[in-house]
Amino acid sequence: MRYEPHDYQEYATEYIESHPIAAVLLDMGLGKTAITLTAINDLLFDRFEVRRVLVIAPLRVARNTWPAEIEKWEHLSGLVYSVAVGTETERLAALRKQADIYIINRENVHWLIAESGIPFDFDMVVIDELSSFKSHQTKRFRALMKVRPKVKRIVGLTGTPSSNGLMDLWAEFRLLDMGERLGRFIGQYRTAYFTPDKRNGQVVFSYKPLPGAEKAIYGKISDITISMKSADHLKMPELVSTEYTVYLDQRERTRYEDLKRDLVLNLPDGDITAANAASLSGKLCQMANGAVYSDDETVLKIHDRKLDALEDIIEAANEKSLLVAYWYKHDLERISERLHKLHVPFSKLDTDSSIQRWNNGEIPVALIHPASAGHGLNLQSGGNTLVWFGLTWSLELYQQTVARLWRQGQAAETVVVQHIVTDGTIDGRIMKALSEKDATQSALIEAVKANL
């Protein structure tokens, strides 16, 4: 296929070529893979500035998306690539091939650098989904930092640079510029821009930005960062977000409040114990959805409010296809059981075949987990309505899931995202947290947005 780039794509490609360190914050659907490959192609064969490129990406994207994009465009036909995923034997064979671009999944970065025995002689590295390197304590981060001085050019791609706030930016930019802009140590960064927020004595659980910190941080990174939003450059469908509120009866509400207060809930069928605040959050999320794992891992049913709401939504859809996001395994089991009773055809989207059937309009209700719906899946041909049965705290997973439908190529004029929210439960907190994180991220994107 002939590549005819939009103005913003030409701008982003030129930015990568002219900046040895580039953080490219591209919203979903803007074609970041094609943009980056075009820049790599130019740097390899026109400018002769690089000779061996490593692309690090999520597994599905490494295996499918990057090779598909190289094969798709005429101007990239000269690129030779090798995909290093699979067994250790398969990865080693792929890395020993002669190629211009080597593509590996992020889980194998530590193996590549510390265990494979393959010399790390890549002069350009592309990190697809830079946000997956937001923790400086992971093996993949530490391994990549060891070889970072060998790399002449590095590109970080993401649409969600600060999904859990500004604190995540330190590790991401430490990897890109080796600490030049935000400091070499996380302690320096915290001291300069944050103050302790939630704490217990000397133990600090979270930090909040100091007054003016956001602007100062964005100013520090602006010389190596560009940002673009889909709505600024593409004709995107309208995004409509709604809440479908369900209500617990007095007995269900009492059970919920008892667990929240005591961290222990005694039920006729078994006991539920929450060991700490994080565990309690998970248990309350499960109860809001309608079922919860007991201490012996059996599933205890609490209510069917969300299942009833989903049934209403399916009926109101009047045979239009629905994409339903679930979080827990027992959510999937209970939804499946209800759909069987209703004689509604459905399928879990977990194979290439099921995804193809969805896009062909053959699946009335498709069930998807946000962790597998993230990067690289195009589902916009199958429908325009997403229902959140169970919510997630992760803004990155949330936005990536929404972007499976709300993206370029969506034929409908609107994309509807419905959240089934249980009144008076942790669901409300999650919705508020997602909103507040989005505000922080939007501020970052606005601060470094490219002015074309």
CA torsion 157-225-439-282 (nearest 10°) is 40
pLDDT in tens, 161-204: 665 678 889 999 999 999 999 999 999 999 999 988 887 878 87
Domains 7-231 and 238-433 fall in the same CATH topology: yes
Q: How far is CA 305 from the centre of its chain?
A: 28
How many Å from the N-terminal Cα to the C-terminal Cα in the chain?
26
Q: Is 297 left (phi over 0), alpha (psi -120 to 50) or beta?
A: left
pLDDT in tens, 282-297: 888 999 999 988 777 7
| Closest among 348, 346, 354, 392 to 371, alpha carbons compared | 392
Lowest mean pLDDT among 13-22, 88-97, 342-351, 408-417: 408-417
Q: What is the arithmetic mean of pLDDT over 22-27?
A: 89
The pLDDT of residue 264 is above 70? no
Give residue 452's pLDDT band: very low, low, confident or very high (50, 70, 90). very low
Answer with the residue of higher pLDDT: 278 or 236.
Answer: 236
Kindly report the pTM of this predicted structure: 0.76
- Token pair listed for 229: 């939003």
The fold of 7-231 is: Rossmann fold (3.40.50)
- Nearby residues of 352 by Cβ (< 8 Å), 6 or more positions away: none
Q: What are the residue boundaries of the structural domains of the chain, listed by start?
A: 7-231, 238-433
Most confident range (mean pLDDT) of 7-21, 209-223, 345-359 is 7-21
Answer with the residue of higher pLDDT: 451 or 76.
Answer: 76
Give residue 375's pLDDT band: very low, low, confident or very high (50, 70, 90). low
d(CA 139, CA 143): 6
Cβ burial of 6 (10 Å; 0-12, 13-18, 19+) is middle
**Three-state secondary structure along the chain?**
CCCCCCHHHHHHHHHHHHCCEEEEEECCCCCHHHHHHHHHHHHHHCCCCCCCEEEEECHHHHHHHHHHHHHHCHHHCCCCEEEECCCHHHHHHHHHCCCCEEEEEHHHHHHHHHHCCCCCCCCEEEEECHHHHCCCCCHHHHHHHHHHHHCCEEEEEECCCCCCCHHHHHHHHHHHHCCCCCCCCHHHHHHHHEEECCEECCEECCEEECCCHHHHHHHHHHHHEEEECHHHHCCCCEEEEEEEEECCCHHHHHHHHHHHHHCEEEECCEEEECCCHHHHHHHHHHHHHCEEECCCCCEEECCCHHHHHHHHHHHHHCCCCEEEECCCHHHHHHHHHHHHHHCCCEEECCCHHHHHHHHCCCCCEEEECCCCCCCCCCCCCCCCEEEECCCCCCHHHHHHHHCCCCCCCCCCCEEEEEEEEECCCHHHHHHHHHHHHHHHHHHHHHHCECCC
The CATH superfamily assigned to 238-433 is: P-loop containing nucleotide triphosphate hydrolases (3.40.50.300)
